[in-house]
Chains A and B, each alone.
Chain A
Amino acid sequence: MRRRSKRWLLGTVLAGVLLMTSGCGRGDTILIGAQTFSEPKILAQMYKLLIEDRTDLKVDVLPDLATSPVVLQAMKNNDVQMGTLYSGEIFNNHFPIEDTKDRKRVLEQAQQGFDKYFNLKWYDPLGFENTYAFTVRKEVADKNQYKKISDLTANAQQMRLGVDTSWLERTADGYPAFKQHYNMTFGKTLPMEVALVYKAVANNEVDIVLAYSTDSRLKEYDLQTLEDDKKFFPPFDASPVVRKDLLEKHPEINDVLQLLIGKIDAKTMVDLNYEVDVKKRNERKVAEDYLKNVGLLK
């Protein structure tokens, strides 16, 4: 009896080890990393659908990587080979940069820097920007005549701010720099998973949130974004990013991705996010429908 249970245990352990190792070696499958919010997940599904449609390659999506630097790290380690990143990522201390808010210069630096230091190809933008946007409930905006960020100066001290988990720590475009730039501080800051901020402000658990500008819940919850009148936030153009060794091995991927470059504008992206975040549809289905609509898939 004892011997049998020992053998059984050994078998289980072996099976476990085999499972784990087979999970690691995915062979020729390309893995696309996506952050926690819907947008990069939808885009990852688009890359996957198009690549699988036009090449013989097999593609999988690895969703819910905590943050963009985590996606980058995973690409560096070759755990994933592709992803969607935003040009403002250069402000996350990956390499020395020239501090600028010029849209073109930020993109150039992202393309050159991530090529040089990470060996990644940073494509030209997909055609939309997803930047930070200060957002309040519409009734609050109407009542207090809030139209731009400067309008908050007098009341900021009494406000509770909901933000994503990184912004307070970001150096060039985060809270410390913001305080100086706009000369205002908020009474209380509550960093949380970004998907929660929209509901939190709608439910009056916080007074203002720093939203992502392409999030469809801005519309859904009747929220009002405030104009960045002192031009604080840098540009955040979304681009596909791919390991260069993968592109050398499979140049056909390049042709496929070019189909999407410059083709997705902000309104389209908001609509796609709406399908997933508000209508609760599957990201893959949303991506598929879109590609069929624009004639990229049959």
Chain B
Amino acid sequence: MSITDYWDFLVSRRADIWTAFLDHLQITFWAVLLGCIVAIPVAVLLVGNRISWVNSLVFTIANVLQTIPSLALLAILLPLIGVGRTPAILALFLYSLMPILRNTYTGFQAVDRNVLEAARGMGYSSAQRLFQIQMPLAFPYIMSGIRVTTVYIISWATLATLIGAGGLGQLIVSGMGTNKKELIVTGALLAVLLALAVDFVLGRIEKWITVRVKSEPVANTQ
């Protein structure tokens, strides 16, 4: 197949390709967003928690979820919530938990105790310490957790098509079923590009927020 043939294919199928791309983006977005909403607060709670077995229990659960083969997890969820996008998002959400949880937790742990001590001495309440000291200092860790998660959720979401959720995997799998290599290549290529693009955008967001937080005088936020 020549380049012009491939171009013709892209043009003639652009609507389908675009739909698959958007589906993929949406599945990834909701999975990661749910992951953040659950994992970040849980990590913060774990940092403040003094009962150590609770921490290890939570981390063990997140770790175990991580190790379930993705195809098996989809298969397990099927009888519970059926086919379509919801089970796919739920499965990928479960995978997103561990990296975000682990990174947020590590980020909070890495905050210098002396800094916290000094803040306490200056009369910061624990909420102020959380939002004005710990959160900003742990932020790069949290973001790197989110970035790692997003990149591999994008790659794993290609399996979602097997349970009727659509996405770029649909191009790949149907290409395999009909001997159309151009579909396989397009699906794979877009998944790679999407992962790179999203990682880049998240990187920019991280930088932008970091600069803003740093340049804000602490007195103003009080």
Contact = CB atoms under 8 A, between A and B. Distances in A.
Interface of A: 66-70, 72, 92-94, 162, 164-166, 168-171, 174, 190-193, 196, 200, 203, 205-206
A92 B166 contact: no
Contact of B174 (A68, A166, A203): A166
Contacts of B190: none
B33 interface: no
B179 A93 contact: yes
Interface stretch (B56-64, B78-86, B139-147, B203-211): B78-86
Contacts of A174: 178
B104 to A, nearest CB: 34
Given A196-B83, A200-B83, A205-B84, A190 B164 contact: yes
A92 B178 contact: yes
A193 B178 contact: no
B164 A66 contact: no
A192 B164 CA distance: 4
Given A165-B162, A165-B170, A169-B180, A192 B175 contact: no
Question: Helix, strand, loop or mixed for chain A's interface?
Answer: loop
Question: Helix, strand, loop or mixed for chain B's interface?
Answer: helix
Contacts of A72: 179
Interface of B: 78, 82-84, 161-164, 166, 170, 173-180, 183
A78 to B, nearest CB: 18
Contacts of B84: 190, 205
Contacts of A94: 179
B176 A162 contact: no
B73 to A, nearest CB: 14
Contacts of A171: 178
A161 to B, nearest CB: 10
A196 B78 CA distance: 9
A162 B174 contact: no
Given A191-B170, A203-B82, A205-B84, A166 B164 contact: no
A29 to B, nearest CB: 26
Given A191-B166, A196-B83, A200-B164, A168 B174 contact: yes
Given A165-B170, A193-B163, A200-B164, A69 B83 contact: no
Contacts of B183: 169
Contacts of A169: 174-175, 177-178, 180, 183
Nearest to B170: A191
B177 A190 contact: no
A69 B176 contact: yes
Contacts of A67: 176-178
Contacts of B170: 165, 191
B176 to A, nearest CB: 5
The 10 A-B pairs at the shortest CB distance, nearest first, are namely A166-B177, A192-B164, A190-B164, A69-B179, A169-B174, A67-B177, A165-B173, A169-B178, A92-B179, A193-B162
A217 to B, nearest CB: 15
A203 B83 CA distance: 10
Given A69-B178, A168-B174, A205-B82, 19 more contacts: A66-B176, A69-B179, A70-B176, A93-B180, A162-B83, A162-B164, A165-B173, A165-B176, A166-B176, A166-B177, A166-B178, A169-B178, A171-B178, A174-B178, A190-B83, A191-B170, A193-B162, A203-B82, A205-B83
A170 B177 CA distance: 8
27 contacts: A66-B173, A67-B176, A68-B177, A69-B176, A69-B177, A69-B179, A72-B179, A92-B179, A94-B179, A165-B161, A165-B170, A165-B176, A166-B173, A166-B177, A166-B178, A169-B180, A169-B183, A170-B177, A190-B84, A190-B166, A191-B161, A192-B163, A192-B164, A193-B163, A196-B163, A200-B82, A206-B164
Nearest to B169: A165
A165 B84 CA distance: 13
Nearest to A171: B178
Contacts of A205: 82-84
A191 B88 CA distance: 14
Contact of A93 (B82, B163, B174, B178): B178
Contacts of A190: 83-84, 164, 166
A40 B183 CA distance: 26
